[in-house]
Structure formats: structure tokens, C-alpha cells
Structure 1
Amino acid sequence: MFVVLLVMAPSSQELEPPANPGRFKPLVKDIILKLEQALLEFNQKYVSEQFDPLADMAWRPQKDDEEQLWKPLAKRLVAGPRNAKELDEIKSSYFGEKRASKQHIVVQQFDQMERQLVALHSAACEVMRCSDNLPGDLKLQAVKIILSAYFRVLQVGILLSSSIAEKPVVQWYNLHFVNQIKDTETDKEKRVLNVVVSLPAAIMRKGTEEFGSKKLGEVFKLLGNSTELHGFVRVLNFACLIRSKPKDWFKAASHAIASTGRNEFYLATMLSVAFKQFNEEVNTTSEREEIKRLIAVIKAKRDLGKQNPGSKDINDFTKRLDKINFFEKNTGDSGGS
């Protein structure tokens, strides 16, 4: 299943590499600072940065145990973000269910913030494509803030999941959510939850295309080796890392996997990301072997019940998977068991 996310950048000409790097650095600083401020305002007024119903969700169990998945996730969705009432007013007004002067003011305020947030996010991704001569500390600051902005896109998708489940396309300002789920589920709540669990992989796919540049590979590696990132942001950084492949990328990717619980939903998402890189992207022979090993580590964590399986476990598991052509036959669907 997929929900395809399109992030629509505001119309502008693509930036060329700066002729004067000294003038480019203040521009990047200004954009990143404004994006950080917009994220902070969004956090304070509308949705807490802690709001992630998927963070504590388990990797989808066998079909007989699906209630273990749906009930806790549904409860977290109902609990909602910090300002659920106001966001309900925004969604109701935006989709034309009811109009009121008070709601119009609320929507205007949110509209302005959301437009600014998406525009700054797009601008930040654009300037980082020309980041060759930027100092390392500025690159690090920019990458962390841009990763956080993609998490905001996930939050918006979760808040709109009931609409996405019912419509082929949902447009929210400069974001388009295209529902391509072939869903025969008759229970409305479960259709919504199918959308929610498919959103992270869709946003990561778009995020790595826009942002997973080799120029930023060393920053992704630094963050992959740290314990600073969590949840969706950690997995998005993992996706960018294995796409950009800086020197010693495999060690940092392994550390990110080791830092993720063996029963976490986001570990399943890492598996999906690794399969995408293995099956759809250009890799050298040695890189393919390293990605296969990452996939084997994730499967070993899951199937052997070990948080950090040893080298012998991983080597044996890789051979077993090779024998059954596991790597060629699977896509690593993050909703799988």
C-alpha cells in the first residue's frame, strides 16, 4: 500500500551555485533561522513536536492480533495534538463542512503560518543543494531543522488522514496527498489507520529525493552515529544516509538500527527504506552487499528476538535469506509482519 505525497514548492527559479560564497552563507542562515522560528510557532500554537501516534506503535503483528495494533493507535489519534479543538475548526472550515466568521479568522492565521512553513522548508532544501562551501556547523544545524520540518509534514498528513482515506487527492495548501491505497476495508477507522501507517514511507520517499544529497552525506553520517535523533526523524536521516553513502556510512546506518527497538513500527519502516534502496536505486556490488547486511540485521533483530544480534547471527541469517532469494522477492512493506 502507498500514499504518495507531493510537496509542491512555491514557484521560483532554481538556485545556481553561489558566485560569492561569502554572501551565500548569510542567506542560508536567514532561511534556516526563519524556518526554525516557524517550526517553533507551529509547535506552540497548534501541534506539539511530541505528537507522533506511531512512535510507540509496535511492528504490525500477525493478522490474528491486529487489535493490538489498531486500538492503541486509535486512542493516540483521538487524544490528538495540543490544540485539537482549533485544528478541528480549521479542517472543518477548510473542507467546507461549515463556515463561521470565528473559524475564518482561525483559518486565515493557520493559512499564513502553513504557507510560510512550507515555503521556508522548500527554500531550505533548495539552498542546501548548493551547500558545498558552507561550514560544517551550519550544515548540521540546517539538516536537523529540515528533518524536523519533514516530520511536520507527517503530522499534517496524520491530522488529515480521515480525509485522505475517503478521497483520491487531498490538497492542504502546498501539500498534495494522493491516495493510491487499494483498500477493500469496510471499517472506516481501519481505513484511516491504513493511511496513517503508510504515510512515513511515502514522506521519506519524497524527502530523500529532495534532500538526500551526497553533499550532505557527512552530516547524515554524524547524526546516524549519534543518539540525538528519535522516531520518524531518525528513520528519515537513515534513509538519506543510505542514499548518499558517505565514507563509512554502513557503520552509522548500523548504529541507527541498533538504536531502534526490535518491535518498533519505525524499525519496520527502516526495513522498507533499505529494500527501496536495494531494489530501486543505483548501487555498486559492494554497496548492495552492505545493504543486504542491513536488511539481515533488521530481520535478525525481529525474527531472532535479539535487540543487537552478533556478527555470527547476522552472517548466518544473511546466508539463510540468500538461499530463499529473500532479497529479490521482497519489498519490505512496513506494514508487514
Structure 2
Amino acid sequence: MKAIAFEQFGEADVLQLADAPAPEVRPTDLLVRVHAAGVNRADLTHRRGGYGRPNFGDSTIMGLEIAGEVIEVGRDTQGYKVGDRVMGVVGGGAYAELARIDWRMAMPVPASLDYVHAAAIPEVFVTAHEAMLHLGNLQRGDSVLIHAAAGGVGSAAVQLAYATGARVFATAEGSKLERVAQLGADVVIDYRSEDFADVIAKATEGRGVDVVIDFVGAPYFARNVASMSDGGRLVQVGILGGGGQVSVALEEILYRHLQIKGTVMKSRRQEEKHAMVRRFREHWLDRFEGGASLEPVVDSTFALARAADAHRRMESSANVGKIILTMQ
């Protein structure tokens, strides 16, 4: 099969199309002929050496989400058969014509969706649901601040928050604000020209928001805490702007009853990943059927051989929604 390989860590041009052996199908695996694969920030980290070794995860091939057709089923799988259209999260190996997936991490592709749009769902919507609704406990009538709202997880979170019945504040670069508003944000904030903490303080008359979903990290931490209501929940999903040390007065957490949580799917135990996918599937999957309220947001598509260009597109931060690789 054809797959994307890289012999050393580095810039996008280390990614090359190569021949690779088909993955071995284990008892709990589905073997999938991949039609489309999502590109994620974690892939950039992988390519640059952020995980320390090229075979971090379940495969020497990078990539975390796929959509395609089942061509073989392991003896211990349940609910799937050869010919089924599936999408889901893999532990690596998505940048290839064939990939294996634990059947508990797979979901059926909604009938109204093609493979490209199906590949734009698993990683980002599962992550958004886990962070905002499971960990953040967002409820109808709550308010939420979603940073990086034009990105993959951010655009998913905006839609899920709107569908939940929350008031949605969202930050993004100015040229992307109109699209973010179309996805369901009530108040859009240009992070380059506006201070989101000031906007929220004015819009909520000083109360703050119930939930903050942040991908940026240290540069936003103090203002995130200032933007939270009493009893508010901050869920840290990424550190695109930098990690390291942050500080907060313990009295703030104690007397304001604040909760600060972190979540990364890649480092979770497999059983926890199964539960994350199950929670999302049970709550939201039917909302992607034709005419329903949720839509996978696709920014652009690239042929598998152009994986380097797809990475450059993500590194430019020009995308709104998902970047997808397609197999030809």
C-alpha cells in the first residue's frame, strides 16, 4: 500500500509518499480501505519530533482519524461487517491507503455524508464533546468562551455549544469571524484587536462565563480565569501559544469555586478513549444526518501525496475547519 513516511524529524518536506506493508489485523480491529484522513495539530507535533520517536502510538505511520470502507474484521469485533462505511479515531496509521482501527473507536458514517466530510468528524467532535460537555458540564442556558473557534476542534465546539442551547462567545482572527458566527457563535471576538476578557466582562455585566475551552495556553491563562463566573470551569485542550508555568491565587480557586481541568485524547488509556467515542456517538451522531443541525467543516482537501502541503496549510493557520487528505 501507499503511505506517508518520514525518515527524520523536521519541516513539512520530510513527508514523502512511500510503499509500506499493510497493517496486521488484530482480534479487535477492523481493516479499513481509507478514502479520507483528517490532518490534526498532533500530526505536526509528531513530524517535528515532539513525541520523541517516530512510532509514537499504534503505528510508525502518522495520522489519527480516518473514513473509509471495512475490508476485513477481526474475530472479536462486534457490529461491523465487510463493506460498512466507517469513520473513527486511530492510534496512528491514518496517512495510508489501509488502516486498522479498534472497532470500539469506529462509528458508522452518516448516510448523507461523503468520506471527506466524515473524516472531518471523529477527532475534533469527540474532543469538543469531551472537553465542553463531559468535563466542562455545559448545560442549556450556560455561557461558554471558545478560543481558536475557527479551527477544527473550535468550530466543532461552537456547533455543539449552540446545539446545547448555550450562549457562545468565540475568539478567532478577524477575517474568520463571520464564518464562526454562522456556526452559532453569539459574540465573536477578534483576538488580535480586542481583549476577550474585557468583551466578556462588559457583555456579562461582570459575571463571566460558565465554561472556557482553551487551546492557547499560558498567554491566555490569567484572562481565562478572570473571565470565569463563580463556579466556572476552565478546560485546557491545547497549548498552541505555549505551555510552561502559570500562576493563580489559590484564593481565586477556593472562594470562587473554580475548576481547572486538562484533556488530551492521545495520551488517554484505551478504555478511556472507547468511552469518549461512545459518549459522543450516543449523544450526537444522528445530528449529522441530512438536514440535521451539525455539519463537519472542511477547509480544504489534498491528495495523500501532497501531505506536506496539507501540513503547510495547517501551519499557516489560514484554515477554517478541517484539512483532509484523500486517497486516489
Larger proportion of helix: 1
TM score, norm. by length of structure 2? 0.27
Work out which structure has the larger RCO, using CA pairs closer than 8 Å and 6 or more positions apart in sequence: 1
Would you tell me which structure has more strand in proportion to its own residues?
Answer: 2
Q: TM-score normalized by structure 1?
A: 0.26
